[in-house]
Amino acid sequence: MKILILSQLTKLFGPLRALDAVDLEVAAGERVALLGHNGAGKSTLMKIVLGILDGNGGTVQVAGHRPGERVAREMTAYLPENVAFHPALTGREQIRLYLRLKGEPAAKAAELLERVGLTAAMDRRIGTYSKGMRQRVGLAQALIGRPKLMVLDEPTSGLDPVSRHDFYTVLDDLAREGTAILHSSHALTEVEARTDRIAILSRGRLVANDTLAALRQAAQLPIQIHLVARHGEADAVAAQLGGTRRNGSRVELTCQPAAKLASLSAITGLGSAIEDVDVIPPSLEALYTFYSQGSAQ
């Protein structure tokens, strides 16, 4: 079931087209990563989905409702980039307030804060929290009331690797329970393993929207093959395979995806001259650059 449907969504800031006819859908239980440079329109798109900004054209539906409508807000959770809270309140007081604003019993606060690992600090003022701890409070409030749609803007910026891991574990649980998750990120490597689909925004236009495998397939970016040659044979190996010698034993070559197997059999043909082989598919960074530059041309 589609939870979020954007159709031809357009937003103008004066002469600037912040969003230009964007079509995007997120189904229940699906995790979609929204990638883009700063100013590509990610936050604008999210704010329109949340109903705090109005679009200039196109439509947005949250489970059949207009964003900003009460029903839509009740089923949507949001974690803004660099989430901020009243520094004078404690974590527990802040979550109690948010629970009551969502019409849930305030007593659930302790349980939510435990889920994000803030039990020890929940009665301290948020003013004393680190950025990572504030982000956890942000996640705790986003978990209120089993949201159908979760919108996360750069949710893991400022988190240490362990916190990031915990964070994605919580998101995995939510997705399993059927929450549609739309999140933006700069940390491309972590998005790679944790999403079902990748949507790339560039200058307000959606330039890619597919699974990582399909995007790789469509981009046809060259594959890197890294070889370790036996001592003294690097030059010969490089000459035979048409690669480049990087140091005494290391040789690098690139090939098109279609030629991958042919290259590998040529390498095996060299027998004992080769000590090790690594095949490196195009990185998400390369894909991202490919798709966002493609739109600029």
Binding of residue 102 to other proteins (CB under 8 A): yes
Residue range at the interface with other proteins (CB under 8 A); choices 89-97, 232-240, 249-257, 286-294: 89-97
The residue (of 70 and 231) whose beta carbon lies closer to other proteins is 70
Residue range at the interface with other proteins (CB under 8 A); choices 96-104, 156-164, 173-181, 210-218: 96-104
By CB under 8 A, name the one of 27, 89, 264, 273 that touches other proteins.
Answer: 89
Distance CA 34, CA 28 (A): 16
Binding of residue 36 to other proteins (CB under 8 A): no
| Sign of the dihedral through C-alpha 111, 116, 121, 124 | negative
Binding of residue 246 to other proteins (CB under 8 A): no
Binding of residue 93 to other proteins (CB under 8 A): yes
Binding of residue 76 to other proteins (CB under 8 A): yes
- Name the strands in the sheet holding 244-245, side by side, starting at the edge strand that comes first in the sequence: 244-245, 250-255, 223-229, 274-280
| Sign of the dihedral through C-alpha 102, 106, 108, 112 | positive
Residue range at the interface with other proteins (CB under 8 A); choices 57-65, 85-93, 166-174, 206-214: 85-93
Distance CA 253, CA 224 (A): 6
Residue range at the interface with other proteins (CB under 8 A); choices 95-103, 174-182, 261-269, 279-287: 95-103
- Alpha helices per DSSP H over the chain: 42-50, 70-75, 91-101, 109-115, 131-142, 161-176, 188-194, 212-219, 234-241, 260-269, 284-296
Q: Give me 29's structure tokens.
A: 């239980």
> Nearest-CA neighbor of 204 among 95, 295, 77?
295
Binding of residue 266 to other proteins (CB under 8 A): no
Binding of residue 123 to other proteins (CB under 8 A): no
By CB under 8 A, name the one of 24, 42, 78, 180 that touches other proteins.
Answer: 78
The residue (of 16 and 162) whose beta carbon lies closer to other proteins is 16
Residue range at the interface with other proteins (CB under 8 A); choices 88-96, 168-176, 186-194, 282-290: 88-96
Binding of residue 80 to other proteins (CB under 8 A): yes
Residue with token string 């690992």: 117
β partners of residue 229: 274
Residues 6+ apart with CB under 8 A from 126: 85, 86, 87, 88, 89, 90, 91, 94, 134, 137
Cα–Cα distances (Å) from 93 to 10, 96, 110, in that order, read: 38, 5, 10
The residue (of 83 and 223) whose beta carbon lies closer to other proteins is 83
* Residues contacting other proteins: total by CB under 8 A: 31
Strand 149-152 with 180-184, pairing: parallel
Binding of residue 106 to other proteins (CB under 8 A): yes
Footprint on this chain of other proteins (rule: CB under 8 A): 47, 50-54, 70, 73-74, 76, 78, 80, 82-86, 88-89, 93, 96-98, 100-103, 106, 125, 138, 141
